[in-house]
Amino acid sequence: MIPERSWQQRLHASLTLATTPENRYFQMATCDEHGIPHNRTVVFRELESSPEALLIVSDLRTEKCQHLQSNRNVSGCWYFSQTREQYRFACQGEVLTSSGHHNLLEAHWQRLSEPGRQQYFRNQLHASEYFDCSGRGFPLENYPPQFCVIRLIIERVDYLSVAEQPHERIMFEKSSDGSWLGSQIDP
């Protein structure tokens, strides 16, 4: 049975119905070089299309950026508590830096709150070296070299709704031509 709505339509609806900040978080799992999984909560920033990708912002010094150097596979698990829907995203992750992606980084930096920006300068003795220290301007106005965007290119979406009995589960897989095919499976 072919599902009526695409995962993109479902995710758009989930995001529209979600009214609490927690619904903007999801859990991102990576594997280290020893095959050990590592899981953490991240903040959703943007959904790109063509190809579909989840964007988050991060710091190059974090464990997750290091893991992506040796293993690009990522599993994102996003649970919407209000609508009781779960999306499991099988992704390929890539770390985007100022080299080649300045405009994207700049746009995401500008959207961060001041406390959000300050996170990038904690425990950093020489933060001032990255800035014009002449006294002009605000020191948090430009992103530091360790700021990055992680792009999680989505290859498969395992959708589950537990709002009603029986539960509904649909597997959306990407074809080689970039189109998506969904099929209902046993929850």
Q: Nearest CA to 65 among 105, 90, 30? A: 30
Instruction: Specify whether the CB–CB gap between 33 and 39 falls below 8 A.
Output: no
Min dist. Cβ of residue 42 to a second copy (A): 10
CB of 102 to a second copy, least distance (A): 27
Is-contact 169 86, C-beta < 8 A?
Answer: no
CB of 5 to a second copy, least distance (A): 21
Query: Closest distance between a second copy and the C-beta of residue 107, in Å?
Result: 24
Burial of residue 121 (number of CB atoms within 10 Å: 0-12, 13-18, 19+): middle
Min CB(27)–a second copy separation in Å: 4
Between 101 and 156, whose beta carbon lies closer to a second copy?
156
The tokens of 141 are what? 């106005």
Select 102 or 167, whichever has its Cβ closest to a second copy.
167
* Radius of gyration of the chain, Cα coordinates, nearest whole angstrom: 19
Among 18, 45, 7, 14, smallest CA distance to 174 is for 7
Closest distance of CB 78 from a second copy, Å: 9
Determine how many CB atoms are found less than 10 A away from the CB of residue 74: 24
For residues 4 and 186, which CB has a smaller minimum distance to a second copy in the complex?
A: 186
- Name which of 127, 156, 159 is nearest 143 in CA terms: 127
Nearer to a second copy, 1 or 36 (CB): 36
The residue (of 122 and 136) whose beta carbon lies closer to a second copy is: 122
- What's the CA gap between 36 and 73, in Å, rounded? 12
| Residue nearer to a second copy on the CB measure, 46 or 155 | 155
List of residues contacting a second copy (CB under 8 A): 20-22, 25, 27-31, 35-41, 71, 73-77, 79, 81, 86, 88, 90, 115, 118-119, 122-123, 165-167, 186-187
The residue among 144, 55, 150 whose CA lies nearest residue 95 is 150
